[in-house]
Every structure is written in C-alpha cells, then in structure tokens.
Structure 1
Amino acid sequence: MPILGLIIIGAAAGFLATRLMRIEASIPATLLIGIAGALIGGLILRALWAVMGLASGLIGAVLGAMLLLWLWQAYQRRK
C-alpha cells in the first residue's frame, strides 16, 4: 500500500483506536498515533492484504494505532 494511502487510513485509524480504547487525546496526537500505527500495521499485515484487500489496510492501521496507544499508556504510567 502506498505511503500516502497509509497516512489517510492512519488518520481514520487513530480516531477509531482512541475511541475503542477510550483515550482522550488531542487531534494532532490522535492523527500522529493513527498515522504511525497505519505505517506499522501496514508493514506487518502485507500478507493479509493479498487475501482480504482494502479492509486489511484499515484493520492493520487500527491494530497498529491501538498498539501504539497501549505502549504510550504504559510509558505514561511509569512517569
């Protein structure tokens, strides 16, 4: 999936991930987490892309964003 597509899907994924995990974050933080999650999820789930098509991009982006949110929460608790 092209990088631009991952960024666009990532913006939506960040929004979905913050809502699914009930995290209050600023809009820029939500977008950055979603975009980074989309990049991570997109790279990890390339095999799934071949099987499921476009839906796997969104699934991977949401899962990647949720992983980053989980790591961010764990880091914040340590402070």
Structure 2
Amino acid sequence: MPILALIVVGAAAGFLATRLMKMETDIPTTVAIGVIGALLGGLVLRFLIALTGLAAGFVGAVLGAVALIWLWRIYGPRR
C-alpha cells in the first residue's frame, strides 16, 4: 500500500511541478518526476530536521504564528 500511495502522491506532485515549471511531459515521465522528487525532498527534509532538531520545530512554530497573524489582520474583525 505505501508504494501505491507514493505513486499517487508522486503523480500529483509531478503534475503540479511540471505545470509550475511550464514543462510538457508524458504521464510516465510526470509520475517519475514526482516520485523521485518526493524521495529526494523527503531525504532532504529528514536531513534538515535531524541536523537542526528542535530549532526546526521552533522556526516552524514562528512561521505558523506569523501566518496566523497575517490572516487575522486581513480577515479578522475590523476596528
């Protein structure tokens, strides 16, 4: 089942990435780009989290809080 999920997520990621980069590719190439990109991105993300440890969580929390404040200022109640 995890292999099937990787292929489905890879196909979606490959489709989105090829459209963002304005590439015209066939379906197998799109899926391959997505699956390889997911594997590579996962490895890089795991390495960064292992390298930075708790600091990565803190940075993520700060970015989340900043995004929440930004949304609150735009869509929150007006004074």
Amino-acid identity (%): 65
Q: Partners in 2 of 1:43 and 1:24 — Cα distance?
A: 27
Closer, same or farther in 2 for the Cα pair 1:7/1:39, shift >3 Å? farther
Q: Which residue of 2 aligns with 1:38?
A: 38
Q: Which has the larger radius of gyration?
A: 2
The one-letter amino acid of 1:32's match is A
Q: Distance in 2 between the 1:15 and 1:21 partners?
A: 10
Output the CA distance in 2 between the equivalents of 1:40 and 1:19: 19
Which residue is 1:13 aligned to?
Answer: 13
Structure 2 gaps of 5+ residues are: 50-55, 61-79
Q: TM-score, normalised by structure 1?
A: 0.51
Distance 1:44 1:6 in 2: 17
Task: Give per-residue Cα distances to partners, 1:24-60, cap 9 Å, x unaligned.
Answer: 000110001110110000111122xx846xxxxxxxx
CA RMSD of aligned residues (A): 2.7
Tell me by how many angstroms 1:10 deviates. 1.6
Q: Give the alignment's TM-score, normalised by structure 2.
A: 0.51
* Structure 1 unaligned regions, length at least 5: 53-79
Question: Which residue in the other structure is 1:63 paired with?
Answer: none
Paired position in structure 1 for 2:53: none
Q: Per the alignment, in what secondary structure is the counterpart of residue 23 of structure 2?
A: coil
